[in-house]
Amino acid sequence: MTVPTQDPGYQATGAPHHADEVRSSSIGELMREVTTDLSTLMRQEVELAKAEIRQEGKKAGKAAGLFGGAGFGGYMVALFVSIAIWQFLDNVMDSGLAALIVAVIWAVVAAVLYSKAKQNAGRIRGLKQTNDSVQRIPDALKPHPEGVTR
């Protein structure tokens, strides 16, 4: 995607650049030029944002796939370590009791992870700032009799 340069001779829509050309233009023509240039700028910014999102999305997808593979590898390690512990305990005690001990260890691990996840989930604010600013937009468009407020 090519973005036009900001050199002084650049003209997006043929807008006048010299003071004499501006003075000879009507307010309507100037407003049309400003509106057209603003519209062009907004379209270019949206296209740039789309390109950046696509690029970052590809990187995020690759990272997610790698994390998924690492998670599966970790699961396999935990599974085989659990089986090894079970077999080790089976040499010392009944097989059923050994399996129960391994299951209790995993229940404790799961409970600790659940507790941490619940704490972290409670800290998530969501899109609070975005929702707040979107809700203020209609107020910003309404005329205020006392003038502009901050």
Residues 40 and 88 in one domain: yes
Instruction: Give the Cα separation of 25 and 22 in Å (integer).
Output: 5
Residue 8 lies in a domain: no
Structure tokens at 83: 């089986």
Please report the pLDDT score of residue 134 as a whole number: 59
Q: Answer yes or no: do 32 and 48 share one domain.
A: yes
Does 88 share its domain with 128?
no
Q: Do 117 and 88 sit in the same domain of this protein?
A: no
Q: How much is the pTM? A: 0.47
| Residue 17: predicted pLDDT | 61
Q: Is residue 5 part of a domain?
A: no
Which residue, among 54, 40, 38, 57, has the nearest Cα to 3 in the 3D structure?
A: 40
Q: Could you tell me if residue 9 is inside a domain?
A: no
- Flag whether 2 is in a domain: no
> In percent, how much of the chain has pLDDT > 90?
33
Helix spans in 1-150 (H): 19-24, 27-92, 95-122, 128-141
SS3 124: coil
Question: How open is the CA angle 41-43-47, to the nearest 5 degrees?
Answer: 115
What parts of the chain have a pLDDT lower than 50? Answer: 1-12, 16, 150
| CA 75/CA 71 separation, integer angstroms | 6
Residue 23 domain flag: yes
Domain range for residue 84? Answer: 14-92
